[in-house]
Chains A and B, each alone.
Chain A
Amino acid sequence: MKAVTELQTIATQVRRDIVRMVYDVKSGHPGGSLGCADFLTSLYFKYLKHNPAKFELTGNKEDVFFLSNGHISPVFYSVLARSGYFPVSELSTFRKLNTRLQGHPTTHEGLPGVRVASGSLGQGISVAAGLALEKKLSKDNSTVWVLTGDGELQEGQIWEAVMFSKHYKIDNMIVTVDFNQAQIDGSTGDVMGITELSSKFLAFGWDVLEMDGNDFNSIDTVIPQAQSKLGQGKPIVIIMKTEMGQGVDFMMGSHAWHGKAPSQEQFDHAMAQLPETVLGDY
């Protein structure tokens, strides 16, 4: 088990990777990526039982993570590379011609760690529920994880999947909602209210937990709680409060940095807030 300080170091490096990748190619989605860096670092370096060195697309007999909100690919790619799925140096190819690190994640280019394409929103819980059913049929008691955005919950397919998962008692899956209350056009409340989120999931018959996704103590409390609820006949959701842009002051507190790259001045300012780590830049 990794100590919090070690995870913090990795998360700082992941944040450096995110900002450097997006700055380098002058496009991408830094806001949600920065917000989810702590959670995905914890998941990949502490909680997932997985085999990065020997990636198998099927994910048989290992925990599997799906990214439904595919636009936060920078954090996904950084965490995958840092945990050993592919060389860290490959992060420099992000969004460039002939890269395996497409703007949105895909299996099409054969990137280890990715098991389905995502980008068009609302599809990840369905896919995760399907693999969770597959694991039940195959008597494989590992866990399927899936992360969705909160704006993404405006997609109708999400609620089809939420209903389905309860109906089939999919209790080997943990959904995390990145509850940063921001989306491209503004706050989720202004764009399309997703109010009473806990009540909604409870009404669908799910187990609901809440977590501060930018606090390692909260993550280390809530993830084990969620895991303790596995196998009890109910699907599990963690509503994870995060700050879009977390770790870079001028990207926080606004939806503006959902999908935009920093200028050189902004990049320098961001880097000054994210100190170099022993892991080193790509």
Chain B
Amino acid sequence: MRKYEILGNKDTRSGFGAGLLEAGNENENVVALCADLTGSLMMDAFKDKYPERFFQAGIAEANMMGVAAGLAIGGKVPFTGTFANFSTGRVYDQIRQSIAYSNTNVKICASHAGLTLGEDGATHQILEDIGLMKMLPGMTVINPCDYNQTKAATIAIAKMIGPVYLRFGRPKWPVFISEDTPFIIGKALMINEGTDVSIFATGHLVWKAIEAGAILAERGISAEIINIHTIKPLDVDAVIASAKKTGCVVTAEEHQMNGGLGDSIAQLLALKMPTPLEMVAVNDSFGESGTPEELLVKYHLDSQDVVEAAMRAIARKR
């Protein structure tokens, strides 16, 4: 098992803030909108440097999505910022009609996704957003795993044309992807090559998969760990190749089983190459208040849960 050095402890939303500033430096058409959460989304640096390109939208997310679509029609590259539940469920129809169906070049950037939002509880801990967004034709869906990857993803989506959902989180989290790792939209990132089981992880759960890989290695199990940062379009070749090599699969994400990464990979494998598969995800439940670590344990999204899922998957191999 490859050793990953913890390069720091930073929130992924700060990676977004840093990436947005850099994207703004690179392209004067990049503009940003925020629905009264500028500090939470770490958009202050962009706002302070480019006040004329920053639009405070107030607590009115539906309008913000429409305004972003209008800015995009004229040629700007708008980034909207708010929490993940207000970025998706609250404004689903606006995104569907004015952004996805109209194919406007809007980057929907969503913080505080998943259980690791913590103490605010279930009203704010959306666990359905990946599913909502990936169902929209033409929508690119990205869930980066640490500060550096979130920053790189933010810069990358500014350069592509088309609507994007970029999902990140609130808590400080280990940074382990090097700054110079290229971010290629739609291309899976190999974290650890292995032979016994494939672990496909996204977002904060990539680090949990790495922790699980170390535990499995102590048991003599060689886990292949692949970071699927782009859930849509899915890197089909990478998933198939790894599943073929190891013969069993675990998916890990901070999302409902329904509609998440596991659901995408299960669909792909069922259609192309049926393979034993276990999911580490929230099982049809809302979250609750607690610390991020407590919640990950209670809702079975911890490294130990990834280990157990891997053991179950391996046991199902013929």
B71 in the interface (beta carbon within 8 A): yes
| A114-122, A198-206, A221-229, A233-241: which lies at the interface | A114-122
When distances are taken between beta carbons in the complex, the residues of chain A under 8 Å from B65 are: 126
Alpha-carbon distance between A78 and B63 when the two chains are bound, in angstroms = 29
A58 in the interface (beta carbon within 8 A): yes
Q: Are A138 and B75 CB-contacts (below 8 A) given A117-B102, A127-B70, A133-B55? A: yes
When distances are taken between beta carbons in the complex, the residues of chain A under 8 Å from B74 are: 58-60, 130-131, 134-135, 138, 140
When distances are taken between beta carbons in the complex, the residues of chain B under 8 Å from A117 are: 97-98, 101-102
B62–A160 contact, CB under 8 A?
Answer: yes
B67 in the interface (beta carbon within 8 A): yes
Q: Are A129 and B70 CB-contacts (below 8 A) given A119-B97, A157-B63? A: yes
Partner of A130, one of B52, B67, B101: B67
A127–B73 contact, CB under 8 A?
Answer: yes
Total interface residues on A, CB under 8 Å, equals 38
Question: Which chain A residue shows the least CB distance to B103?
Answer: A107
B101–A106 contact, CB under 8 A?
Answer: yes
Interface class of chain B by DSSP: helix
Q: Are A118 and B97 CB-contacts (below 8 A) given A126-B62, A156-B62, A163-B58? A: yes
B66–A127 contact, CB under 8 A?
Answer: yes
A133–B71 contact, CB under 8 A?
Answer: yes
A161–B66 contact, CB under 8 A?
Answer: yes
Alpha-carbon distance between A156 and B62 when the two chains are bound, in angstroms = 9
When distances are taken between beta carbons in the complex, the residues of chain A under 8 Å from B93 are: 120
When distances are taken between beta carbons in the complex, the residues of chain A under 8 Å from B98 are: 116-117, 123, 126-127
Convert A153-194 into 0s and 1s, putting 1 for each residue whose CB lies closer than 8 angstroms to a CB of B.
000110011011001100000000000000000000000000
Partner of B67, one of A122, A133, A138: A133
B73–A115 contact, CB under 8 A?
Answer: yes
Partner of A157, one of B52, B66, B72: B66
- Residues of B in contact with A, size category: 20 to 34
Q: Are A130 and B62 CB-contacts (below 8 A) given A106-B101, A107-B103, A120-B97? A: no
Convert A120-154 into 0s and 1s, putting 1 for each residue whose CB lies closer than 8 angstroms to a CB of B.
10111111111111110110100000000000000
B94 in the interface (beta carbon within 8 A): yes
CB distance from A162 to the nearest CB of B (A): 9
Alpha-carbon distance between A131 and B66 when the two chains are bound, in angstroms = 10
CB distance from B139 to the nearest CB of A (A): 14
Convert B61-104 into 0s and 1s, putting 1 for each residue whose CB lies closer than 8 angstroms to a CB of A.
01111111111111110100000000000000110111001111
Question: Which chain A residue shows the least CB distance to B63?
Answer: A160
Partner of A131, one of B57, B64, B73, B102: B73
CB distance from B93 to the nearest CB of A (A): 5
B53 in the interface (beta carbon within 8 A): yes
When distances are taken between beta carbons in the complex, the residues of chain A under 8 Å from B103 are: 107-108
When distances are taken between beta carbons in the complex, the residues of chain B under 8 Å from A60 are: 74-75
Question: Which chain A residue shows the least CB distance to B59?
Answer: A160
Alpha-carbon distance between A117 and B99 when the two chains are bound, in angstroms = 9
B31 in the interface (beta carbon within 8 A): yes
A127–B69 contact, CB under 8 A?
Answer: yes
Alpha-carbon distance between A122 and B94 when the two chains are bound, in angstroms = 9
Q: Are A133 and B70 CB-contacts (below 8 A) given A156-B62, A157-B62? A: yes
A279 in the interface (beta carbon within 8 A): no
B60 in the interface (beta carbon within 8 A): yes
Question: Which chain B residue shows the least CB distance to A134?
Answer: B74
Alpha-carbon distance between A116 and B67 when the two chains are bound, in angstroms = 12
CB distance from B28 to the nearest CB of A (A): 9
B73–A57 contact, CB under 8 A?
Answer: yes
A108–B52 contact, CB under 8 A?
Answer: no
A116–B73 contact, CB under 8 A?
Answer: yes
When distances are taken between beta carbons in the complex, the residues of chain B under 8 Å from A134 are: 70-71, 73-76
Partner of B97, one of A115, A123, A161: A123
Partner of A164, one of B58, B76, B78: B58
Alpha-carbon distance between A57 and B58 when the two chains are bound, in angstroms = 28
Scoring B52, B102, B104 by chain A CB atoms within 10 A of each residue's CB, the highest score goes to: B102
Scoring B53, B62, B63 by chain A CB atoms within 10 A of each residue's CB, the highest score goes to: B63
Question: Which chain B residue shows the least CB distance to A127?
Answer: B70
Alpha-carbon distance between A59 and B73 when the two chains are bound, in angstroms = 8
CB distance from B30 to the nearest CB of A (A): 11
Query: Please, could you name 11 A-B residue pairs with CB atoms under 8 Å apart, sorted by A?
Result: A116-B73, A123-B98, A127-B69, A127-B70, A129-B67, A130-B71, A131-B70, A134-B75, A138-B75, A140-B74, A167-B58
List the 4 closest pairs (A to B, CB-CB), nearest first: A130-B70, A126-B66, A134-B74, A160-B63
